[in-house]
Amino acid sequence: MFEGPLQDLIDELSRLPGVGPKSAQRIAFHLLHVDPNDITRLQEALGGVRDGVQFCRICCNISRDEVCRICADSGRDAGMICVVEEPKDIQVIERTGEFSGRYHVLGGALDPLANVGPRELNISTLLQRIGGVLPDRELADSTPDNKLFDETPVIREVILATDPNTEGEATASYLSRLLKDFPDLIVSRLASGMPLGGDLEFVDELTLSRALSGRLTL
Ligand code: ZN
């Protein structure tokens, strides 16, 4: 234990995901010696992350503007939506270079034990993107703005790329049941070969590429 502000910093750093007490100490000591300008930039970045980050009004990805870079890219296939749990999963799939459609970020997975139900996820906006009509009245009522989508592209396929663990599988099967209401829509799930119980983030690129190209229609 150290005294004063240094220990406060170590305590705060060690609360971050993936940062243990030892790493927290190493980062804190590093920061003691860095250029004051670097500290200012870090302070500004930390301060700006709450207010400066917004979510794309179409896909709910983290975005600098109202519509994210991927949704704004007319070169991408607007007829395919890859549904992921978190914005970081988009980075992972983008790295495979295997997918040229668009995304939808749920903001998590169904997890009854943690009180995460369908209404806690970005499901109503997904349904709205696909059909323009919401099958579930209650979900429809929780939709923030029904006039968000000026031009609705025809969605041909939805790929469910939730994590290969219990919550991710439960979310995928819930969504596939919901999406049966859209008869012309192809709903697929990443192919087998994905390590079970894991997080999409930790799946290597080759495995993910294969899982995408060999995806199974549900
Ligand atoms: Zn977007």
**Which tens digits make up the pLDDT trace of 37-76?**
999 999 988 888 777 788 999 999 999 889 999 999 999 9
CB atoms within 10 A of CB 111: 16
The predicted-structure confidence for 98-135, as pLDDT tens digits, reads as follows 899 999 999 999 998 888 999 999 999 999 898 754 44
List residues, by chain if needed, whose CB lies under 5 Å from ion ligand 1: 56, 58-59, 61, 68, 71
Q: Is the pLDDT of residue 27 over 90?
A: yes
What spacing in Å lies between the alpha carbon of 65 and ligand 1's midpoint? 9
Q: With contact defined as beta carbons under 8 Å apart, do 92 and 201 qualify?
A: yes
Residue 138's pLDDT is 45
Whole-structure pTM over 0.85, yes or no? Answer: no
In angstroms, rounded to a whole number, what is the distance separating the alpha carbons of residues 66 and 62? 10
Which structure tokens are listed for 50?
């709450």
What spacing in Å lies between the alpha carbon of 63 and ligand 1's midpoint? 7
CB atoms within 10 A of CB 63: 20
Block residue for tokens 């025809």: 154
CB atoms within 10 A of CB 116: 17
φ/ψ of 209, rounded to 5, equals: -60, -45
